[in-house]
Amino acid sequence: MGEEKYKVILDTMPETESRLEVLFRQAGDGFLQVEYGRIQRAALQDSFRMLAVNDIIQDKKIKGLIETVPGLRTNLFHFDPEVLSLKELMVHIKEAEDSMPTVDDVVLHSRLIHLPMAFEDSETKKAVAKYAKEVRPDAPNIIDGYNIEYIALCNGVTVYEFKEMFLGTDWFNSGGGFWPGGAFLWPTDPRCAIVVPKYNPPRTWTPEGAVGIGGPCVFTYTTPTGGGYQLFGRTIPTFQFAQKHPIFQNGPFLYKPADRVRFHEVTEAEVLEIYDHVHNQTDYEYKIDEGKIVVKDYLAWYNSEKVQAGMKALKAKQAEGVKKAPRL
Amino acid sequence: MLKILNGGIETLVEDAPGRLGYLGKGMAPSGAFDPVALGLANILVGNPPGEAGLEITGGFLEAQFGMDTVIAIAGTDMGPTINGQAMPMWESLAVKEGDVIKFSHIGEYGFRSYLAVSGGIDVPPYLGSKSTCIFGSYGGFEGRKLAPGDVLQFGSPVKNKKDLVGGKLKKEALPVYPREWILRAVPGPNTSPDYATEEGMDYLFSHSFKVQHTSNRSAYRLEALPDSFFARPDGGVGGSHPSNILDHGYAMPGALNICGNTPVLLIADGPTLGGYMCALSVINADLWMVGQGTPGRDYMKFQVCTQEEATQARRDRKKLLSEASLA
């Protein structure tokens, strides 16, 4: 008995040059969670490698595997135990893991999606005003009727610098979930790693296309919903229930795990015109480049003196900003 | 067809097992909250067990049939009547064009009733399922609960209606609805010793938890856990509370999420990913019981189960939801 009683780590794989220790955790009847490392850490290289392994597993077209749900450092496998046994599934995952023994082997298929967006648009301003009126009139994250000043304040930078940082990095999708079509987007450039607290309490309404940040993640709201991320602008549709536009022909979702998103600034009028061309005229052409992430190259760049120095400089500014910004 | 006169508290079009394969896209499976009651009602009217029917929560649905057909009601006894006459549950019966069916409130035991119609409810499938996701407002009938004036179409019956009338179930196929539901569950992924104390896990698997009033189709909230449940002082990079964890996918439906000190069963329309630890998962074959658990009245108790037992229970349930259950 003792520890054995609620034992859920069914098997492990040792740490290698390219990855942390792998833990196979029992996660229910028909579910298995694969976790990387015993210590929780938020590091993009863990996600890159995990998604590369996930691609290999998906390509195997394993009978009885219903789906996988990648998080940042875990992958949840959903399967039909009447068709595929837990044991067989673990053998498949181990084979995929073993096929990438060194970091040189880790190359991830990753599309680059270009999204136009307008900062400080009127729709997301309406959402903030509604929150101030109906939920929390004294919310300290609302300055001049909006959240963008507060975002800058928390990070010890100006609004202009915040915008430069947001546009200056690609945002990596570690996987979707939580809300239909949503993606959790992380900055690939650590020099642009803005961090902000989430709303307290949350909003009751956010417009489609709102762009927000909560903790270290950026989220583009797919449909009107509540939410807790600090708002700073609006982008074009990334989801379409009706699947009328050709890009949504095979599913209402734009994002796939491992996609990178690069935002560029346009006017609010342009964003609104694109809405018409996506939802009504269905002739807007999304700009998506095929691409890949070579993890070895990414790590070399990430660890370079220039990037590390920039990251440290931002962290110092953020430490000062946190002291000045009011708590939520 | 069926014309809705009163939608009641919450009546939804649901099938089973719902919309599978979209957890990573943020879409819950939805589906009938009690797939056993829906499944048995479907078997009685000659449908496949997962065919779409009406899920009636709380009661007070009133509707008029626009054609002759064969129906069956299963689940909690809401005192259903046809043209004011009490009608039997758990058996198939013929209804005529113009007949009015009416439900009262929930019965002594159980919480949800299911109405199955020969041929099923004909709504366009969305991403492979006719289920309504009420929290996302999609699927089913226009992504919402039914309202007066709505008209539902029926599919084509698979079997001759005459052969179906008067169909009954074997006694042993009828589910029993207690006030305290014993749910078999597989521990994990976050248990003792790293996330919870062994004492805490023992408590989780022995305490009888009252179902909270705030429960709904996305979350069944249970009584709070004591602080001694947690093995960690905080959630590390996941957050300040020891129930916090870096966001991970949820084993939906069935995962028991620990949100602060509140254990929350994620079911039907629940979230598919988030930042709270999960201590156990109710096995697939027992999930129907959660759907019959009455908020504010019933209790839930967890019982440790192995993967092998869970898989066997799936096979047993498949047999239950087949013609083998017809008397």
A42 and chain B: CB distance < 8 Å anywhere?
A: yes
- A30 at B interface, C-beta within 8 A: yes
CB of A27 within 8 Å of a chain B CB? The answer is: yes
CA A289 to chain centre: 19
Q: State the residue for tokens 């949800």.
A: B112
Q: pLDDT of A300-319, one tens digit each?
A: 999 999 999 999 999 999 99
In sequence order, the 6+-apart residues with CB closer than 8 A to the CB of A230 are A141, A147, A150, A151, A196, A198, A199, A212, A213, A214
For the segment A195-206, the average pLDDT, to the nearest whole number, is: 92
A35 has pLDDT over 80: yes
Query: Model confidence at B162, in pLDDT bands (50, 70, 90)?
Result: confident
CB contact, 8 Å: A73 with chain B? yes
Is B255 in the A-facing interface, judged by CB distances under 8 Å? Answer: yes
| Closest residue on chain B to A39 (Cα) | B236
Residues B18/B34, Cβ–Cβ less than 8 Å: no
Backbone angles phi, psi at B187, to 5 degrees: -65, 150
Note the residue count of chain A.
Answer: 328
Residue A3 has pLDDT above 70, yes or no: no
Confidence of residue A2 (pLDDT cuts 50, 70, 90): very low
Is B140 in contact with B132 (CB distance < 8 Å)? Answer: yes
User: Taking residues B155-167, what's their average pLDDT?
Assistant: 85
pLDDT of the residue at A282: 98
What is the overall mean pLDDT for chain B?
96
Phi, psi of B267 (to 5 degrees): -140, 170
More confident: A179 or B121: B121
Which residues in chain B are closer than 8 Å to A180, comparing Cβ atoms?
25-27, 136, 138
Average of pLDDT values for A194-210?
93
Reference B293, options B169, B209, B194, B190; nearest CA is B209
A180–B contact, CB cutoff 8 A: yes
Count of positions (residues) in chain B: 327
What is the pLDDT at residue B198? 96
Q: What is the pLDDT of residues B195-213, one digit of tens each?
A: 999 999 999 999 999 999 9
What is the Cα–Cα distance from A122 to A293, expressed in whole angstroms? 36
pLDDT range class, residue B56, cuts 50, 70, 90: very high
The reported pLDDT for the residue numbered B161 is: 76
pLDDT at B66: 97
User: For A273-302, what is each residue's pLDDT tens digit?
Assistant: 999 999 999 999 999 999 999 999 999 999
Please tell me which residue of chain B has the smallest CA distance to A75.
Answer: B249
CA distance B254 to A28: 8
Query: Which pLDDT does position B78 carry in this prediction?
Result: 98
> Considering only CB atoms, which chain A residues are within 8 Å of B281?
27-29, 31
A 150-179 residues with CB < 8 A to B: 175-179
Q: Report d(CA B175, CA B325) in Å as an integer.
A: 11
B281 touches chain A (CB under 8 A): yes
> Which of 84-123 (B) contact A at CB < 8 A?
none
- pLDDT given for residue A1 in this prediction: 44
Q: Do B311 and A182 touch (CB under 8 A)?
A: no
Query: Which of A28, A70, A71 comes nearest B188 by C-beta?
Result: A28
Q: Whole-structure pTM over 0.90, yes or no?
A: yes
Half-sphere exposure of A148 (CA within 13 A, CB side): 21
pLDDT of residue B34 exceeding 90, the answer is yes
